[in-house]
Structure 1
């Protein structure tokens, strides 16, 4: 406990059913004039954007909508959004959606105040200036990008996901309203929910873990165990959606300050090469990476197993570790996550190249066990 830490947390968070109504006064108090709404076409088409613009209109705030963000946001998405922001003299960004719009908005916000090319900001704290103010409105219980200092942009030239960890990209206001998450498709709910679990587990076993991050991560794992199946089964279950919203938020706060691990490093390569959903990639890889990590995680995976409902009393550490791996696989299977990478179209001849790139991914830095090329390829093979 005798140590100094820097904690990254949005200055204001509104969370819970109806939270979007609470953000209006906060926007007024900051004297914002015009928003660039960064989102995707689906959210625009199904009327979610209208719910946000209604709040802006009620508070006399002008806006322009940029809805061209792709599921894995690209350098082009960032550059196109920046052009719209400049053309319309927007003084803040309102990101609306899951991780993709949130990440794109961070890239736009950093370029708006720092200039240059988004490729210049890959890595840790590469920007000099705080981004343009971001109000991050979340619509999925998944990436927690709305509350973290991380964002990921796909380099269209190399097909590699660039990971940025930058305190200057942290949103000023975060909004997580489970009412915006209802009626989402079961497969999306499953994928984003497993992303939450991956965040919590990786933060919990991370080299950077500490007492607060552990408490948050374990609580998140318990909430996922309680609520994810119900949220997938019934997309209008507001209680399950609310639990998942909190699980996502506190998992984000945990990994925001403790770091992630090699699941994300490997998943980023799958997303970059095959344009696959990030949450699905995490879900497929998570049990295999944690099985590999288990030699260096002490008794922590015992607690993960217990948080997911497994009886681990009397089990050896090795047995408890295996119980955690099985609990993750069972949850994935029950909510319809593909059993392996082959089902996602991954080709064995691509594994070596992806493994090389994974070793350069910034999330590797806090993984609890050292990895090399051979081990990475073997994990990919087990996940096939």
Structure 2
């Protein structure tokens, strides 16, 4: 295309200690009754109190909702939306991982709409979002999803995933404080980190990429590549945690504006059918999808190699694109994520259903630099099962 449309969340605070801006921002609204949507584990270990206690001390009526589950199914979204409608809340805070934030913005918007969430799904819904909804503040406690700066809410269906997507789902305020990520366990740090990396990589090779999204994506890749292994090894490493939070934020801005493509399209059915965390679903597919589409974006993959810290030297773009795939495989291995579908106990018999569900993700597949049809998708899943990168015949 000859021009690009760029959309960014209206206001963001990023950096160590950014959570201190929560109360001043809430005071800008006339809201008195506030819904905090958070992960149950965050309430259990007391981290949620960093949000709720200052609000309660100021006299706000705060209700904490902890009915959040990883990869939330449609029924969970329906339940929260109904709870929000009945509660007559005036502001919503999403505090936690991507699931908590996705559910919070869904609740904030659909609280002022009629009908079930199902009617607003991208693939099958018939209703349109027409009103902004309640003010919403999103605060990630992991470095990976980018949900705090995107306009989608992802929900699991029976065998795949779908989204509710509209610019009204964008946060009014995003607060990205790496101090909140220090207690995240290594496995979740790894999964969310590779999720962020995938966002940046797919944004950079997207057919909708622009100079702006390119700059965001490449710098995100640099920050994640230099810090993810450190953050997994030592969660108290302040610089690594800061880099990961900032890198995830930049990757979120990049993929919101350029879009993700084949990796996400094929990851959705894996998460839907086998309930594998989204970041791990992306991680296991990333090298295989990138290898398959390599010939359509060799120059950009050479750029990604350099951003990953790989030594391009005197390699040609073709050679560098192969090395880029090797670097992605190494990254996934180094942070302890399985590199084959079998590593997640996904049987070969599941590949046909995965393929039939993957091909339905046309909204996402349309951004791939190499058009991916049913036969291509089947080959990529087979490649990920066999553990051997491949290319089109």
Give the gaps of 5 or more residues in structure 2: 386-393
Partner SS for 2:293: helix
Partner of 2:117: 118
Contact 1:8 1:149 in 2 (8 A): no
1:250-282 per-residue CA deviation (whole Å, 9 max, x = no partner) reads: 100011111110100100100000111100110
User: Are residue 7 (structure 1) and residue 9 (structure 2) matched?
Assistant: no
Following superposition, the deviation at residue 147 of structure 1 comes to 0.8
CA contact (8 A) 2:178 2:242 kept: yes
Q: 1:84 to 1:119 in 2, by over 3 A?
A: closer
**1:58 Cα deviation (Å)?**
4.1
Preserved CA contact (<8 Å) 1:66 1:84: no
TM-score (norm 2): 0.93
Write out per-residue CA displacement over residues 281-337 of structure 1, whole angstroms, 9 at most, x where no aligned residue: 101100110111111114000011111111112212221111111111111111111
2:196 counterpart residue number? 196
Contact 1:213 1:258 in 2 (8 A): yes
Matches within 5 A, 1:87-236: 87-123=86-122, 126-155=128-157, 158-236=158-236
Distance 2:70 2:173 in 1: 23
Q: Tell which deviates more after alignment, 196-205 or 340-349.
A: 340-349
Post-superposition offset of 1:160: 2.3
1:237 corresponding residue in structure 2: 237
Deviates more, 1:173-182 or 1:72-81: 72-81
Q: Distance in 1 between the 2:108 and 2:364 partners?
A: 22
Question: RMSD value over aligned CA atoms?
Answer: 1.6
TM-score by length of 1: 0.96
Which secondary structure state, in structure 2, belongs to the residue aligned with residue 263 of structure 1?
helix
Structure 1 outlier segments of 4+, above 6 Å: none
Query: How far is the alpha carbon of 1:220 from its aligned partner?
Result: 0.3
Contact 1:160–1:269 (CA under 8 A) maintained in structure 2: yes
- Please state if 1:383 is matched with 2:379: no
CA contact (8 A) 1:97 1:139 kept: yes
Alpha-carbon distance in 1 for matches of 2:82, 2:374 = 40
SS in 1 for 2:305: helix
Matches for 1:235-384 after TM superposition, within 5 Å: 235-361=235-361, 362-384=363-385
Unaligned runs of 5+ in 1: none
Q: What is the alpha-carbon distance in structure 2 between the residues aligned to residue 31 and residue 282 of structure 1? A: 41
- In the alignment, which residue of structure 2 is the partner of 1:52? 51
